[in-house]
């Protein structure tokens, strides 16, 4: 008996000396990042720090998970929300970590981390040296100096900001949570010049081939207002089309557009599609959800393939579904927890952005 | 090996001065004679060692209950046998303290120095206290000492990371009247250094920020007794203000998140004993205020719950074989919060009866049946059956077998949180079964060994889970099923030789807890271990005392805990040891206890919750001065 006790005590004391440096361990896979493909940002659970980055390779037709962790040997952070490639660098906005990870787009090695940004959501590039960062909680837009990877200033919006679209020297910024405005900024002097009243909670925006800004207003979570799809003429900043969703319970999200700038897509349980010239909202699904929980989507501007994320139950690993332009399913691949933002990678220096 | 593994059994004092307590008959509750069920008693001598620490520390080091904590002074909750915090009831002298909004209690803001005894009732054994504790009940006891001695206790403490605390106790009175006053205050900066391996290109040490905590508390108790009855009045006020640090994955995000908890608890108890009848009546009022602010996110959550509880028990021995108890409990909840639409009121009434039969000298059987009324809705009855068998005459060996159906009503947040609360939620129900083998061997006058081994199985269904709804928010539904099976084993060795005392208490638990959901999409999760439920845990406590010197070393091993429902990520196992060295000096009227505690003796870097670092090695000096008259 005494011998057993001694063994127990010694083993416990020895295990006390275990030193851990990285608390989270995940299965490792070989990364394969060369060639064209699609990045999927897995948000992970709020405050759990288990966000990750997946990559679908067009060369191998394989999906590679936790790419950032594998290459940089540290987790990506809490709620990676959006990603955009600019030249040879990619910018990953990690919302609840308050940072932007700057990585080399070819191999995902870390180049810099821009800290100290309050709840960042999207990055949009003005020119080779300047970008804007929207914020869920701050009432200012952060200005990034791309040469030093630092915040060089702020534009006071007096409102929070979500999606952003740049048209020539004008930035259109959506005031999503609790808002109903599109704020107009002159990117030459970083001054707010105008605001456009739209529907309740403008959630996502795209620009079409005619430089019409399409704004999807989801009506707010309390369902007090009808959701709307609004077209704004960016030459006059006036509303030229306003389509109201038929049910107060309709809550469309994630507006996207095809490569030609002609077809609009959004999620409303399934995926709906409409031409920019249509005068009515589509009443049937272009792609039914088929018991998936569609969360975010992206349309490849090069081949119009549609990538849709399925968050399943928001607890376990989700999936990404790849569809042809005509809506037929090509493949379904497992990614990380709560897959959200999608970013397309091309060999040419094409800027793409997640939605 | 398992049988030789120590389990935390009856905790006995390791002090070199032993006070033999007066036997109290009045006020004894039937629950503490929990025949047929596994019960753990942590007595005042062991509780006294934690006078400068929290209930979370005490439970973690003296039981196999898993404590999930966000770090020093951060939210700490308990998990029994794979169940969640809402399946643990924290009671104060048998009155439920769990906040009705969230259905749980924060063990980190309960100063252990306020407590005299702790009883832990596992699984089915919790039902004689209250319903809903499918995991178990942790009952916090405060009581008088009818020894006619007036005692003033001053207990200051200071330690690492800006920690300063003080405890005052005054016990005064005579054989018929007692007044007990306790006051506690604590300030902690909690600005410890930790290894950040997630935020930079290479791991680096940094200081935890926005982690300050301030706490004050006060208890006043008055007791009066005569030959047949005891009357007590108790008041407990406590307040805790804490800054809430962010996970280290948010290196520069320290939003001014703050939480302020404030509780006021008043309790009046009347015990009457006449012949073979014991009558107990308790009335209690509990007010819990919880304010959370995050100015950055414009969140200002104000929550006030008030409860009025009436509880009555009558116990009577019918004959030499049969003892019966009838009891009722009524709890009125009133909640005012800006997170609900309007003030919500809920009334819970329950009645239960217990029959206990001493069938033979070797066999006891017990039956409990409870019926609950939630507002106007009559719920399906709960029950518990147990048996205690003493297979060998003259030996203190026992087999305890129990089976129960227990139910837990939804929390008010589950029902009314806006958005997503679901007023149509049904009760969570579950069946629990367990078998315990317990034996105590007195080897010699100086050596006593106690072992026990328990196998348990819980099956909870209709469990409430929040899931994404039709809109952009989550909703609560009865969709989940939990099954947990496992074993607990412990050994407690006491050795005394003249002025030397040794106590070794250690335990091992194995818990397999899985979630089965009724959603076809979630079949992949079937059979996966629940998140933050360690499969393996080991505890060990070794206490040595020689004359006026004493030393205690405790070690906790916590196995791998999964972070994701599909078990793809996990936190690695860790082991943490604490060392307590002390010196006791006694004079005729005074006593001094000078203690020096080293927490995390081997300086382990570890996390109990992912990305919330725990302090590395720290120190605490405590002085207990007692003036007795």
CB contact, 8 Å: B216 with chain A? no
Backbone torsion region of residue A107, taken as left when φ is above 0, otherwise alpha when ψ lies between -120 and 50, otherwise beta:
alpha
CB contact, 8 Å: A351 with chain B? no
CA distance A54 to chain B (A): 15
**Tell me: the pLDDT tens digits for A73-102?**
888 998 999 999 999 999 999 998 889 999
Q: Using pLDDT thresholds of 50, 70 and 90, give the confidence band for residue A348.
A: low
Judging contacts by C-beta atoms under 8 Å, the chain B residues touching residue A47 are: 246-247, 611
CB pairs under 8 A between A and B: 181
Q: What average pLDDT does range B269-277 have in this prediction? A: 91
Q: Which residues pair with A171 in a beta bridge?
A: A166, A185
pLDDT at residue B545 is higher than 90: yes
CB within 8 Å: B506 and A50 = no
B418-423: which pairs have CB atoms within 8 A and are 24 or more residues apart? Answer: B418/B339, B418/B340, B418/B341, B419/A221, B419/A222, B419/B471, B419/B473, B419/B475, B420/B466, B420/B469, B420/B473, B420/B474, B420/B475, B420/B476, B421/B340, B421/B475, B421/B476, B422/B475, B422/B476, B422/B477
Q: What average pLDDT does range B251-255 have in this prediction? A: 59
Q: What average pLDDT does range A220-235 have in this prediction? A: 92
What CA dihedral angle connects B394, B390, B137 and B73, to 10 degrees? 50
Those of residues 175-214 in B touching chain A at CB distance below 8 A are: 195, 197-201, 203
Number of Cβ atoms within 10 Å of the Cβ of B319: 9
**Least confident among A99-113, B6-20, B209-223, B501-515:** B6-20
What ipTM did this prediction achieve? 0.75
pLDDT at residue A27 is higher than 50: no
All domains in chain B, ordered by first residue: 30-628 (2.40.170.20)
The confidence score (pLDDT) of residue A32 equals: 67
Nearest to A345 by CA among A311, A284, A301, A308: A301
pTM: 0.85
The confidence score (pLDDT) of residue B230 equals: 95
**Could you give the CA distance from residue B475 to residue B460 in angstroms, rounded to a whole number?**
20
pLDDT at residue B432 is higher than 80: yes
CB contact, 8 Å: A13 with chain B? yes
Residue B415: both structure tokens together = 């029902």
- Sheet architecture: strand order including A228-233: A202-207, A212-217, A228-233, A238-244
CB within 8 Å: B199 and A74 = yes
Supply the Cα-derived Rg of chain B in whole angstroms.
24
**Tell me: the pLDDT tens digits for A42-65?**
999 887 888 999 999 998 888 999
The confidence score (pLDDT) of residue B472 equals: 61
User: CA A40 from chain center: how many Å?
Assistant: 9
Mutate to test the interface with B, among A10, A23, A294 (most CBs of B within 10 A): A23
pLDDT at residue A72 is higher than 50: yes
3-state secondary structure of B47: helix
Question: Mean pLDDT of all residues in chain B?
Answer: 89
CA distances (Å), origin A277, targets A215, A262, A310, B262: 15, 8, 29, 60
Those of residues 72-131 in A touching chain B at CB distance below 8 A are: 72, 74-75, 77-78, 96-99, 110, 113, 115-116, 118-119
CB within 8 Å: B569 and A49 = no
A351's CB contacts (< 8 A; 6+ apart) are: A84, A85, A86, A125
Q: Using pLDDT thresholds of 50, 70 and 90, give the confidence band for residue B522.
A: low
Greater pLDDT, B12 or A171: A171
């Amino acid at each position: 008996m005494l011998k057993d006790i001694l063994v127990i005590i010694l083993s416990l004391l020895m295990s006390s000396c275990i030193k851990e440096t990285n608390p989270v361990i995940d299965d490792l896979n070989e990364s394969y990042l060369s060639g064209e493909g699609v990045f999927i940002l897995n948000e992970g659970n709020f405050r759990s720090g288990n966000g990750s980055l997946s990559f679908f390779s067009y060369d191998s037709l394989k999906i590679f998970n936790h790419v950032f962790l594998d290459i940089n040997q540290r987790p990506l952070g809490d709620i990676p929300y959006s990603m955009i490639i600019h030249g040879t660098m990619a910018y990953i906005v990690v919302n609840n970590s308050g940072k932007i990870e700057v990585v080399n787009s070819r191999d995902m090695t870390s180049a810099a981390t821009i800290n100290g940004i309050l709840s960042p959501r999207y990055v949009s590039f003005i020119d080779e040296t300047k970008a804007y960062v929207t914020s869920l909680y701050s009432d200012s837009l952060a200005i990034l100096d791309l040469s030093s990877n630092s915040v060089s200033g702020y534009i006071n919006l007096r409102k929070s900001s979500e999606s952003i679209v740049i048209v020539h020297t004008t930035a259109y910024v959506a005031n999503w949570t609790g808002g109903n405005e599109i704020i107009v900024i002159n990117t030459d002097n970083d001054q707010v010049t105008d605001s456009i009243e739209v529907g309740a909670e403008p959630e996502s925006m795209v620009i079409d081939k005619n430089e019409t800004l399409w704004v999807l207003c989801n009506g707010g979570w309390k369902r007090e207002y009808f959701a709307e799809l609004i077209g704004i003429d960016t030459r006059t900043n006036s509303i030229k089309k306003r389509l109201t969703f038929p049910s107060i319970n309709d809550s469309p999200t994630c507006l996207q557009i095809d490569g030609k700038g002609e077809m609009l897509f959004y999620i409303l349980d399934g995926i709906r599609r409409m031409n920019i010239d249509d005068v009515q909202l589509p009443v049937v699904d272009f792609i039914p959800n088929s018991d998936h929980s569609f969360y975010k989507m992206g349309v490849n501007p090069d081949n119009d393939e549609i990538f849709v994320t399925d968050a399943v139950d928001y607890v376990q690993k989700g999936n990404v579904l790849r569809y042809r332009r005509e809506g037929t399913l090509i493949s379904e691949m497992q990614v990380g927890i709560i897959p959200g933002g999608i970013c397309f990678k091309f060999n040419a220096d094409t800027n793409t952005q997640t939605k | 090996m398992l049988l030789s593994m120590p389990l935390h059994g009856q905790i006995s004092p390791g002090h070199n001065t032993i006070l033999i307590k007066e036997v109290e008959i009045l006020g004894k509750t039937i629950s503490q004679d929990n025949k047929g069920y596994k019960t753990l008693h942590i007595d005042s001598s062991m509780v006294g060692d934690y006078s400068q620490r929290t209930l979370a520390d005490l439970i973690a080091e003296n039981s196999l209950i898993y404590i999930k904590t966000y770090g020093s002074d951060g939210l700490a909750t308990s998990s029994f046998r794979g169940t969640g915090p809402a399946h643990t009831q924290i009671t104060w002298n048998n009155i439920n303290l769990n906040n009705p909004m969230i259905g749980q209690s924060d063990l980190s803001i309960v100063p252990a120095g306020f407590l005299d005894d702790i009883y832990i009732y596992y699984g089915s054994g919790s039902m004689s206290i209250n319903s809903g504790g499918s995991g178990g009940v942790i009952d916090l006891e405060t009581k008088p000492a009818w020894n006619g001695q007036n005692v003033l206790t001053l207990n200051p403490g200071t330690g690492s990371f800006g920690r300063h605390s003080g405890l005052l106790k005054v016990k005064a009175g005579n054989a018929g009247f007692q007044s007990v006053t306790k006051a506690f205050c604590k300030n902690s900066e909690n600005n410890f250094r930790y290894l950040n391996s997630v935020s930079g290109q290479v791991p680096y040490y940094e200081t935890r920020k926005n982690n300050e905590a301030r706490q004050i508390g006060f208890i006043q108790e008055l007791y009066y007794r005569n030959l047949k009855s005891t009357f007590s009045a108790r008041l407990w006020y406590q307040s805790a203000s804490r800054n809430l640090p962010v996970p280290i994955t948010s290196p520069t995000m320290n939003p001014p998140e703050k939480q302020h908890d404030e509780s006021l608890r008043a309790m009046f108890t009347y015990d009457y004993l006449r012949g073979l009848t014991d009558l107990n009546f308790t009335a209690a009022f509990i007010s819990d205020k919880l304010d959370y602010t995050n100015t950055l996110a414009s969140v200002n959550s104000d929550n006030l719950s008030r409860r009025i509880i009436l509880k009555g028990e009558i116990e009577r021995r019918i004959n030499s074989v049969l003892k019966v108890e009838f009891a009722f409990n009524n709890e009125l909840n009133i909640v005012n919060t800006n997170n609900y639409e309007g003030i919500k009121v809920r009334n819970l009434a329950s009645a239960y009866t217990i029959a206990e039969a001493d069938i033979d000298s070797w066999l006891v059987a017990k039956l409990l049946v409870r019926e609950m009324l939630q507002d106007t809705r009559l719920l399906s009855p709960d029950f518990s059956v147990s048996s205690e068998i003493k297979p060998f005459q003259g030996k203190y060996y026992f087999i305890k077998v129990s089976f129960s159906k227990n139910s837990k009503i939804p929390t008010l947040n589950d029902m009314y949180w806006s958005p997503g609360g679901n007023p149509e939620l049904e009760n969570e129900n579950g069946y629990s079964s367990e078998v315990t083998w317990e034996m105590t061997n007195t080897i010699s006058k100086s050596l006593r060994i106690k072992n026990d081994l328990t196998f348990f199985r819980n099956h909870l269904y209709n469990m409430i889970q929040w899931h994404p709804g039709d809109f952009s928010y989550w909703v609560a539904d009865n969709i989940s099923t939990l099954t947990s099976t496992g074993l607990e084993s412990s050994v407690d060795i006491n050795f005394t030789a003249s002025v030397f005392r040794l106590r070794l208490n250690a335990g091992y638990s194995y818990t397999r807890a899985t979630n089965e959901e009724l959603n076809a999409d979630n079949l992949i999760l079937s059979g996966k271990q629940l998140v933050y439920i360690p499969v393996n845990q080991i505890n060990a406590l070794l206490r040595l005392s020689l004359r006026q010197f004493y030393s205690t070393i405790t070690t906790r091993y916590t196995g791998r805990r999964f972070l994701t429902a599909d078990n793809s990520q996990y936190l690695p196992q860790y082991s943490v040891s604490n060392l307590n060295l002390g010196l006791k000096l006694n004079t005729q009227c005074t006593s001094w206890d000078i203690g020096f505690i080293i927490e995390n003796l081997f300086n382990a870097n570890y996390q109990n919750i992912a990305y919330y670092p725990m302090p590395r090695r720290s120190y605490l000096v405590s002085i207990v001065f007692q003036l007795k008259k």
